Amino acid sequence: MSRLKIAIQKSGRLHDKSIELLKDCGVSVQNGKDQLKVRAANFPLDILYLRNSDIPKYLEDGVADIAIVGENLLIEKQKNVSVIRPLGFSKCRVSLAVPKSVSTDDLSYFNGKRIATSYPNTLKRFLDAEGIQANIHQIAGSVEIAPSIGLADGVCDIVSSGSTLFKNGLRETQVILRSEAVLAKAPDLSPEKEAILDKLCFRIDAVLRGKASKYVLLNVPNEKVEAVSALLPVLKSPTILPLAQEGWSSLHTVIGESQFWDVIEELKAAGAEDILVIPIDKIVR
């Protein structure tokens, strides 16, 4: 029987989130110490723990069939792989930053300057598109230290909260691209492996929809049910159940995380009371 091989980061935040997603999808992952390959017990999936920067190449070569990897890395490496879907976690941006002593945010500052980066291809494409002539110094790690030791006049690096830049006396000036973890696949998967991938994606989609939504129960006077219902951004229509107290009903619905607080405020203003909010594990369609 065919088994799908998925590559994930060997260690770090992306590793932890990837394992969490697989477990939420019902995939049993038992990690042995220092194991670089693990076989799922209850799903035809083998997990390969690889160095993050190597994943795009292994994916292109077919050593791995699919991977959970940062989109920024795929853009930098430019391998022949395709993104199946974004996963909504490990969000970051690739940005230019300068020493705090530099007062301008203008991109022209970098003309003729030295920029240290672990993303030379991404940076070069951006600078070429903007007509900026700069000297790119490729560094494998600890990019933020480059200006303070005189190696560069600025940096181009991944930024999440910005705290690492701040601690190293830098500030962000230009965002080159925004990124998050994505599910990517190798070219030319066999029909058998495509079928397994479809099953995995079905589970992933159910988990992601659940994480992006809240289940909401609210009590409403019967004369206000129609007005309150009109405010609800529901999957189909709200469930309406009569309460033991005459003249009142309970409405059950699902609200997207991004809309949640605005909608709740509108519901309160329209007459909803005793609003109960419950996290959703999965939404299967």
Q: What are the pLDDT digits (tens) for 21-60?
A: 999 999 998 775 578 899 998 999 999 999 999 999 999 9
The fold of the 92-179 domain, in CATH, is D-Maltodextrin-Binding Protein; domain 2 (3.40.190)
Q: Where in the chain is the domain with CATH 3.30.70.120?
A: 213-279
User: 4-89+180-210, which class in CATH?
Assistant: alpha beta
Longest CA–CA span in the chain (Å) reads: 76
pLDDT in tens, 91-121: 999 999 999 999 999 999 999 999 999 999 9
Contact 214, 260 (CB under 8 A): yes
What pTM was estimated for this model as a whole?
Answer: 0.88
CATH assignment of 213-279, given 3.90.280.10, 3.30.70.120, 3.40.50.300, 2.60.40.1510?
Answer: 3.30.70.120
Structure confidence by residue, pLDDT tens digits, 244-259: 999 999 999 998 888 8
CA dihedral (212, 216, 222, 227) in degrees, to 10, reads: -20
